[in-house]
Amino acid sequence: MKRHRIQFPMAELSNHNQDEAYFFLQGSGGKRKIRFHDYDEIFQIEGLYEQIFYDRLKCTSPTKVSSILEAAVKQSQGNFSELRVLDLGAGNGMMGDELKKQGVSRLIGVDIIPEAYDATVRDRPGVYDAYYVEDFTKLTVDKKEEIESWQCDCMVTVAALGFGDIPAKAFIEAFNILKSEAWVAFNIKKTFFENTDDSGFSKMIRGLIFSKYLDVYYIERYKHRLSIEGEPLYYFAIAARKKSDVPEEFLESIGVVA
């Protein structure tokens, strides 16, 4: 895979939020500033996402979330290889690739930006049985029924929660598409468990974890990746099981504006 000339900023960024971090890409047209969450730009350049987040910043999340999901399924005497997985916020297929190596039965990718789909087709053709470019807050009835027809009994979401990448309403919509007793595995930044974090997604995650709609099997704190200063960024990996659909009024009841 092609290597790129990447430069991290010389000044300390420790006073910036994680989603405000950026880097410079040196190319034939000169130096270009790209933010970490400008996924549409990053995915257009082959190998850039992997080089930044996995080679330089040592991201471990696909492996970690996959491993706790497998442990939860085994604990319930389930068969990991029989899972039909909805990969929400699939990006360019890093998590899908990890699950494919573990031999899951079906793999359905979903992302809101077409550049993610294009990157997956370019870099990991054949990983997904289907890949939808959809906004889950605005799903049509026909598209929802089509995705439901895959009968997914598991959903994974890795490195896509909490920075506005996936709204709370979209997460709940995807959750409700899953079959009853489906598995759910995702990672979140550690501040989501702190009451000082009053973001909508943080409230939703805390509300869901302590609700009757979800049965938590594993919560593990781990090193998600390094910051650009080389400091560890800790996240939680969570594996749980769906008990029932989440009603429309749930978000409003916990103070989240849909």
In a domain, 86, yes or no: yes
Looking at the structure, do residues 102 and 46 belong to the same domain, yes or no?
A: no
**Tally of domains within the chain:** 2
The per-residue pLDDT for 14 is 53
Share of the chain above pLDDT 70, in %: 93
Give the residue from 17, 5, 1, 14 showing the smallest Cα distance to 199. Answer: 17
How many angstroms separate the CA atoms of 25 and 73, rounded? 41
- Cα Rg for the chain, rounded, in angstroms? 18
In a domain, 247, yes or no: yes
In a domain, 165, yes or no: yes
> pLDDT digit string (tens) for 15-30?
556 567 899 999 877 8
pLDDT at 239 exceeding the cut of 60:
yes
Residue 204: helix, strand or coil by DSSP?
helix
* Beta-bridge partners for 7: 24
Looking at the structure, do residues 134 and 245 belong to the same domain, yes or no?
A: yes
Residues 6 or more apart whose CB falls under 8 angstroms from that of 145 comprise: none
The per-residue pLDDT for 140 is 96
Cα 8 from chain centroid (whole Å): 24
Looking at the structure, do residues 36 and 71 belong to the same domain, yes or no?
A: no
How many angstroms separate the CA atoms of 242 and 13, rounded? 39
How many angstroms separate the CA atoms of 130 and 134, rounded? 12
Give the residue from 172, 166, 129, 175 showing the smallest Cα distance to 148. Answer: 175
Looking at the structure, do residues 37 and 69 belong to the same domain, yes or no?
A: no
Tokens 């990718």: give the residue.
109
Give the residue from 168, 97, 176 showing the smallest Cα distance to 131. Answer: 97
Amino acid at position 135, single letter: D
pLDDT at 94 exceeding the cut of 90:
yes
Region for residue 93 given its phi and psi (left: phi exceeds 0; alpha: psi -120 to 50; beta: otherwise) = left
> pLDDT digit string (tens) for 175-186?
999 999 999 999
Looking at the structure, do residues 230 and 207 belong to the same domain, yes or no?
A: yes
In a domain, 38, yes or no: yes
The per-residue pLDDT for 13 is 54
Looking at the structure, do residues 83 and 18 belong to the same domain, yes or no?
A: no
Looking at the structure, do residues 43 and 144 belong to the same domain, yes or no?
A: no
In a domain, 27, yes or no: yes
Looking at the structure, do residues 220 and 97 belong to the same domain, yes or no?
A: yes
Greater confidence (11 vs 57) lies with: 57
Boundaries of domain holding 25: 5-56
Backbone phi, then psi, for 246, in 5-degree steps? -95, 125
In a domain, 258, yes or no: no
Which letter, b or e, does each residue of 177-198 get, where b requires 16 or more Cβ atoms within 10 Å of its Cβ? bbeeebbbbbbbbeebeeeebe
Looking at the structure, do residues 107 and 38 belong to the same domain, yes or no?
A: no
Looking at the structure, do residues 14 and 97 belong to the same domain, yes or no?
A: no
Q: Identify each DSSP E strand in the chain by its residue range.
A: 5-7, 22-27, 30-35, 84-88, 106-111, 130-133, 154-157, 183-189, 214-226, 232-242
Contact 204, 256 (CB under 8 A): yes
Looking at the structure, do residues 203 and 181 belong to the same domain, yes or no?
A: yes
* Average pLDDT over every residue of 52-67: 95
The per-residue pLDDT for 12 is 57
Looking at the structure, do residues 48 and 81 belong to the same domain, yes or no?
A: no
pLDDT-derived band at 142, boundaries 50, 70, 90: very high
pLDDT at 107 exceeding the cut of 90:
yes
The CATH number of residue 178's host domain is 3.40.50.150
